[in-house]
């Protein structure tokens, strides 16, 4: 599995192009469709995953749906395992920052795409419409049960590791 990060929009949202062989998933196409299409290149998109529905994560969504005629996967999925061609992942509901937040867990690869749920040394804001501090703490407790060696790909900022966050993130220590 190859993961390419494209920073898009004025909030520098991380859009990820996750590829296996000649196919890819697009995760959080926030803006700047031309940059995203350029990164996709000759790959065949087989799905779009939205970690949550804030504007900076979906700005190029409708244009990409029209261009590639592909399905969107989001919070409407149950917590379960899913397969899209060669991509096998689990959906984990991680409400808090928004009530549409999900985490996408590629167990075999030890990778989670966490959107704005977790950032390096921090978490997503819980003072916005449709956010909830109590839900955030429930989600943190849920994610703390996973192995430390999972790499976390957040919606903004740099990549981190679940073990690092358990050890250093004040929000993980206080729940």
Domain count for the chain: 1
pLDDT at position 175, please? 66
pLDDT in tens, the chain (175 residues): 999 999 999 999 999 999 999 999 999 999 999 999 999 999 999 999 999 998 989 999 999 999 999 999 999 999 999 999 999 999 999 999 999 999 999 999 999 999 999 999 999 988 988 989 999 999 999 999 999 999 999 999 999 999 999 999 999 987 6
pLDDT at 15: 98
Exposed / middle / buried, residue 164 (Cβ in 10 Å: 0-12, 13-18, 19+): middle
pLDDT at 68: 97
pTM across the whole model: 0.95
State residue 131's pLDDT score.
87
pLDDT of residue 128: 87
**Interval 89-109: pLDDT, tens:** 999 999 999 999 999 999 999
pLDDT value at position 52? 93
CATH number (domain holding residue 151): 3.60.15.10
| Domain boundaries, position 169 | 2-173
Judge contact between 46 and 69, C-beta under 8 A.
no
């Amino acid at each position: 599995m190859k993961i390419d990060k494209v920073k898009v929009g004025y909030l520098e949202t991380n859009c990820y192009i996750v590829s296996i062989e000649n196919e890819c998933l697009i995760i959080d196409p926030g803006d700047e469709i031309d940059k995203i299409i350029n990164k996709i290149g000759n790959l065949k998109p087989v799905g779009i995953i939205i970690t949550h529905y804030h504007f900076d994560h979906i700005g190029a969504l409708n244009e990409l749906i029209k261009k590639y005629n592909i399905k969107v996967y989001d919070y409407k999925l149950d917590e379960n395992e899913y397969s899209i061609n060669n991509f096998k992942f689990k959906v984990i509901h991680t409400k808090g920052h928004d009530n549409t937040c999900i985490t996408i867990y590629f167990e075999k690869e030890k990778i989670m795409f966490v959107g704005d749920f977790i950032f390096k040394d921090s978490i997503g804001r819980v003072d916005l419409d449709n956010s909830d501090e109590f839900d955030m703490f429930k989600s943190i407790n849920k994610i703390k049960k996973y192995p430390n060696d999972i790499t976390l790909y957040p919606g903004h900022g740099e990549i981190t590791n679940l073990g690092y966050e358990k050890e250093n993130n004040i929000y993980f220590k206080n729940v």
